[in-house]
Amino acid sequence: MASGDNEPANAENPEELLELRTTRTPQAAAGLTAVVSSAAHVFSSMSLVRGVKALRTLNQKGGFDCPGCAWPDPDGKRSSLGEFCENGAKAIAEEATQQRVDAEFFRQHSVHALAAQSDYEIGKHGRLTEPMVLPAGATHYQPISWEAAFEKVAAHLNGLDTPDEAVFYTSGRTSNEAAFLYQLFVREFGTNNLPDCSNMCHESSGVALSESLGSGKGSVTLADFDQAEVILILGQNPGTNHPRMLTALQSAKARGATIISVNPLRETGLLGFKNPQTVKGLLGFSTELTDVFLQVKINGDLPLLLALEVLLLEADTEPESRVLDHEFIEQHTQGFQEFAQHIRAQRLDELIRASGVPRELVLEAAAVLAKKQRIIACWAMGLTQHKNAVFTIQEVVNLLLLKGSLGKAGAGVCPVRGHSNVQGDRTMGINEAPSAAFLDKIEAVFGFKAPREPGLDVVNSILAMHAGRAKVFFAMGGNFLSATPDTLFTAEALRRCQLTVHVSTKLNRSHLIHGKEALILPCLARSDRDLQAGEAQFLTTENSMGVIQMTEGSLSPISEQLMSEPNIVCGLAKATLGARTRVTRTRVAWELYAQSYDAIRDAIAATILGFEGYNQRVREPGGFYLPNGVKERRFETTGGKAQFSLAELSEQLLKAGELMMMTIRSHDQFNTTIYGLNDRYRGIQNERRVIFMHAEDIREAGFLPGDWVDLHNEHGGRARVARKFVLVPFDIPKKCAATYFPETNVLVPIDSTADRSNTPTSKTVVIRLTRHQMPGGAAQETLFSAPDRAGRWE
């Protein structure tokens, strides 16, 4: 037994600094550099033949859907050069790697030793190849048969005092078929404890849009981008998080659209784009994307939106100078008079000050909006992870309602989802608070009594596990520990479980922070060929714009012991519910679903509106669109009309020495998967433990660029600390800071969440800095110099 193997495994990335190097930040994203980076990642992970086969079919009709972001594919012709971006190629390099994590690997590496590695190192070991179990008190995972694994889970679940003592998490990678079966099993088992990654990401969007428009989804398609007059991008970094969106923005610019970008960081992907599918792009010629850049303070979006609305109402004074769409407002909205009175009572100067944007730029943006009618508003987690997130997103809707920019070509709401099928999971019923109508349909189709009490979302699941009220944690994909807030608190919650189970393709830190017993169940990936009963199967997903499409892997699985996610659910259901099903005679055909995914889709079609003729329609190249009432100006709200909302400005004032921190991704990262240690678009190489700050804030705090600091948060009177970060001066507003997650998730309080959505406030974390103390008082080993945007050295 290795030294330390009986100690608790490390829940955080090691506090280790590498050799940080900095470069100038580029002024345009993608180009030849992105092509070279894509090839390097793919062909260092697999053979040339396997890599070419994967890339040729990625996002193509009849191929497989990218396991990365949920940006849609073109409806018509798709590029023969490759319908993917740099980060999509990195995702495939991770997923289709020929590196293996097998039983011998686990014999050689204890849980404690693996947890001492960084998330980057853990992820690079390769694909999981067989089911593994960590018995109570053991230090190493051991092989287990699939049958024994299912029996172990079933014994734990059936031994609970109540089904509500189990938590069933879902990541956004899960297919529609697997998600539908998963929620069906969980509800037949007897609980609505179905937290998912939406709870941490776009839950605020779903709540806000459902209340205002009657639907929690976006209302635009890719075709709308080519007809838009204005594209408003808020709290989003498309160059890193949704790179294929840059092509849509470039096309819109070519057709005359004006792009207004709102963000605390002047991100490269908002500035310019070198299209790698064109000769000019490969030669380094770029398209300037943003016309008006509004650099808000962190969480300055709400006062900015209110300021723009004040200016629009002021400009809409005479019939001959109308800038609002009064016909739309009269016919399709409710609450305008109260809203207008509320806006006219706002103090413009106070709103502009609170936003952090210079007055002349606010006026410029308002002038653009005043003249245009076809406006698309896009946003991501920069809007959704604040305490006032729901109110901010409803203010985005208010702005579009004023302009009549809903239910017409080139206009609408566009929440850009971060994971490939997170929207499909929710459509399939992965929801801790399902509607009564959905549960009624489940009962009618499948013949069992569905639980009616709302279940636990992510934050409440963590609290329940920590308090001992939840004893079994089952995760269908994802890296729960590294994705969630308050890392040490969440780690303690997982350790208090009787059993933790993870269905995964690759090893991650959540496998190493476990309950008294733990299981790892390895599954097929999107790119893997899936044969059931000798027949090739395909799955389906839903993208950000409501398109249901096929995804069919073509690569040979890395191991014969991998099982598909639908089969894992069916095996689990048969082991757990077998005796109960024989008595109650439910109409859930687990045996059939395990052999035929067409049968699963028939069950979905019988249960969920919009999926009529599912098997036939999804086989059409490109799939089909789900119904979208907002696009047709049908608002399923209480009054049948779109609702204006009222939001009050509330600032979180900082004390002396405090900063407002937001967590962000690097360019070498997708969610919690770390592809590499560089952040090319922010000039960072070979390091992740950095904190981006305004140069004046660094000096005023008594530090120098390159100094090592510890970050502290004391929300709720509990001390949280993230140690050993390097100070990097950056183009960010004063009193604001940015750090990468998951390294600073330890600072995000479990009890600081968005009003009405309960999403963790990962973008508004109050911190203070202290100098990092070296062991024994030793001097700091290295400093660095960083160029500013003009190339001047600090």
Per-residue pLDDT reduced to its tens digit, 705-737: 999 999 999 999 999 999 999 999 999 999 999
Q: How many domains does the chain have?
A: 3
Within a domain: residue 529?
yes
pLDDT in tens, 298-312: 999 999 999 999 999
pLDDT in tens, 311-368: 999 999 877 778 999 999 999 999 999 999 999 999 999 999 999 999 999 999 999 9
Nearest to 174 by CA among 416, 417, 415, 422: 422
CA distance 367 to 360: 11
pLDDT at 281: 76
In this model, does residue 447 exceed pLDDT 60? yes
pLDDT at 3: 52
- β-pair partners for 770: 710
DSSP one-letter code for 117: S
In this model, does residue 201 exceed pLDDT 50? yes
* Residue that wins the pLDDT comparison between 270 and 445: 445
| Domain that residue 669 falls in | 658-777
In this model, does residue 585 exceed pLDDT 80? no
CA distance 557 to 577: 30
**One-character DSSP codes across 441-471:** HHHHHH-S----S----HHHHHHHHHTTS--
Collect all residues with Cβ–Cβ distance below 8 Å to 404 and sequence separation of at least 6. 324, 325, 327, 328, 329, 373, 411
* Residue that wins the pLDDT comparison between 462 and 85: 462
pLDDT in tens, 202-255: 999 999 999 999 999 999 999 999 999 999 999 999 888 888 899 999 999 999
Q: What is the pTM of this model?
A: 0.96
- Distances in Å between the Cα of 346 and the Cα atoms of 308, 389, 491 are 11, 20, 44
Nearest to 12 by CA among 419, 489, 461, 459: 489
Helix/strand/coil for 698: helix
Backbone angles phi, psi at 239, to 5 degrees: -60, -30
CA distance 610 to 426: 14
Q: Are 639 and 334 in contact (CB under 8 A)?
A: yes
Backbone angles phi, psi at 722, to 5 degrees: -120, 120
pLDDT at 790: 38
Residue 663 and residue 608 share a domain: no
In this model, does residue 500 exceed pLDDT 70? yes
In this model, does residue 475 exceed pLDDT 60? yes
CA distance 398 to 259: 19
In this model, does residue 2 exceed pLDDT 60? no
Residue 561 and residue 538 share a domain: yes
Helices of type H across 116-267: 119-123, 146-158, 176-189, 203-213, 222-225, 238-241, 245-254
pLDDT in tens, 136-195: 999 999 999 999 999 999 999 999 999 999 999 999 889 999 999 999 999 999 999 999
Q: Are 608 and 445 in contact (CB under 8 A)?
A: no
Residue 241 and residue 151 share a domain: no
Nearest to 214 by CA among 641, 607, 543: 641
pLDDT at 400: 98
CA distance 128 to 126: 7
pLDDT at 242: 86
DSSP one-letter code for 509: G
**One-character DSSP codes across 341-402:** HHHHTS-HHHHHHHHT--HHHHHHHHHHHHH-S-EEEEE-HHHHSSTTHHHHHHHHHHHHHH
pLDDT in tens, 58-99: 889 999 998 888 888 889 888 877 888 889 888 898 999 999
CA distance 228 to 723: 46
Within a domain: residue 408?
yes
Collect all residues with Cβ–Cβ distance below 8 Å to 771 and sequence separation of at least 6. 703, 707, 708, 709, 710
Identify the burial level of 306 via C-beta atoms within 10 angstroms of its C-beta, where 0-12 means exposed, 13-18 middle and 19 or more buried: buried
Residue 480 and residue 331 share a domain: no
Q: Give mean pLDDT, residues 446-452.
A: 95
pLDDT in tens, 607-653: 999 999 999 999 999 999 999 999 999 999 999 999 999 998 888 88
* Residue that wins the pLDDT comparison between 29 and 740: 740
Within a domain: residue 27?
no
Q: Are 635 and 214 in contact (CB under 8 A)?
A: yes
Query: For the chain, what percent of residues have pLDDT higher than 90?
Result: 81
Within a domain: residue 314?
yes
In this model, does residue 793 exceed pLDDT 70? no
Residue 210 and residue 184 share a domain: no
Identify the burial level of 299 via C-beta atoms within 10 angstroms of its C-beta, where 0-12 means exposed, 13-18 middle and 19 or more buried: buried
Residue 213 and residue 175 share a domain: no
Residue 370 and residue 239 share a domain: yes
Across 31-35, 651-655, 743-747, the highest mean pLDDT is recorded for 743-747
Residue 364 and residue 468 share a domain: no
CA distance 259 to 709: 37
pLDDT at 792: 37
CA 133 to chain centre: 29
Within a domain: residue 645?
no
Q: What is the CATH number of the domain that holds 304?
A: 3.40.228.10
CA 134 to chain centre: 29
Q: What is the CATH number of the domain that holds 475?
A: 3.40.50.740
Query: For the chain, what percent of residues have pLDDT higher than 70?
Result: 96
331 C-beta neighbours (distance < 10 Å), count: 11
Within a domain: residue 16?
no
**One-character DSSP codes across 542-597:** E-TTSEEEEE---BPPS-TT-B-HHHHHHHHHHHHHHHHHHHHT----HHHHHH-H
Which residue among 557, 579, 612 closes a domain?
612
Within a domain: residue 265?
yes
pLDDT at 118: 95
Residue 116 and residue 188 share a domain: yes
Which residue among 415, 443, 470 closes a domain?
415
Residue 571 and residue 484 share a domain: yes
- Work out the mean pLDDT of the chain and round it to a whole number: 93
In this model, does residue 35 exceed pLDDT 70? yes
Within a domain: residue 378?
yes
695 C-beta neighbours (distance < 10 Å), count: 18
- Provide the angle, in degrees to the nearest 10, between the axes of the packed helices 436-446 and 176-189: 90
Residue 444 and residue 373 share a domain: no
Residue 386 and residue 468 share a domain: no
In this model, does residue 789 exceed pLDDT 50? no
pLDDT at 581: 65
In this model, does residue 548 exceed pLDDT 80? yes
Annotate 729-768 with three-state secondary structure. Answer: ECCCCCCEEEEECCCCHHHCCCCCECCCCCCECCCCEEEE
Collect all residues with Cβ–Cβ distance below 8 Å to 191 and sequence separation of at least 6. 163, 164, 166, 168, 451, 455
Which residue among 399, 415, 431 closes a domain?
415
